[in-house]
Copies of this chain bind each other. A is one copy, B any other.
């Protein structure tokens, strides 16, 4: 089978690609332990090439192009394209600053993708990453599956619209959509991103790396987190799950870990000592604070767990996974 990843040069796209190549195959069902089907081609679409390319692999095809450009998608998607991971997005802070760009990529890009799949007529599996940002306004302590969406950012609005569209294209049988609402994915390696929650990675990553880390929100701010490792695992699970298990509801609120920024700093001290904690600079940013504090800090994960998705055990486990995956030298030093 062919697999397409949009946003394939992004952090999550690259990490997913590595995982898929290592796995070599995807199952068509989780319930009946169906035979895995080999991935013959893995197409990575993005606007720019990845910072550090994947190791040479005959299955990988890197394509440069705009996900909102239908002609690009028509070139990449055919009836052999069994699974599409649609990760391409303008992230929260950037979509707030660049309204038109956000609409074009987050909404029009998703629609173009759905339309090309519909035209092909082969009903591919489409895994879409949505976000905590679809929620907002007055929220219960723990968000439920039937809590209304009231997004307070353009990013959240665009993701909510894309969710609705994927739901309708799925109901009509044009695609087999699976929408994952992701907690904030942290700790990410690399550089700060266009996400309002970028600091959640930064205050661990930069501080452990001997650099200054800026924290734009107060210590009492609660966030709902998922490690990159678990995020990739959930993406794979979403692609393998049976459509029947989802029923008419195509959306899954993924498991997360609820933590405050203060608790994150506490954890940072365990891995990097007070030296690392001292590298965190508190520079309040009203826009970031408003966006991040509108998100739920926890939601009910009963449905996700029942469907086979799993999250992290604790924020400690998240930082530990980051150190293992990205800072093996630090791990060695600690050992």
- Cβ contact within 8 Å between A154 and B168: yes
Contact-residue size bin, chain A (C-beta under 8 Å from the other chain): 20 to 34
A214: CB under 8 A from chain B? Answer: no
Chain B residue with the shortest CB-CB distance to A166: B157
A138 contact from B146, B161, B168, Cβ within 8 A: B146
Is A48 an interface residue when CB atoms closer than 8 A count as contact?
no
Smallest CB gap from A147: residue in B: B148
- The answer to the question of A145 belonging to the interface, with a C-beta cut-off of 8 Å to chain B, is yes
Contact with B along A138-162 (1 / 0, CB 8 A): 1000000111111110100100110
Q: Is A79 an interface residue (CB 8 A)?
A: no
Q: Does A21 sit at the interface, judged by CB under 8 A?
A: no
8 CB contacts below 8 A, A to B, read A137-B249, A146-B148, A147-B148, A148-B148, A154-B168, A157-B164, A157-B168, A160-B164
Interface set of A (CB-CB < 8 Å, partner B): 99, 137-138, 145-152, 154, 157, 160-161, 164-165, 167-168, 171-172, 248-249
A-B interface, 4 closest residue pairs, ranked by CB to CB distance from nearest? A157-B168, A146-B148, A161-B161, A148-B148
Known contacts A146-B147, A150-B249, A157-B167, then 6 further A-B pairs from the complex at CB < 8 Å, ordered by chain A residue: A137-B248, A137-B249, A138-B146, A146-B148, A152-B171, A161-B161
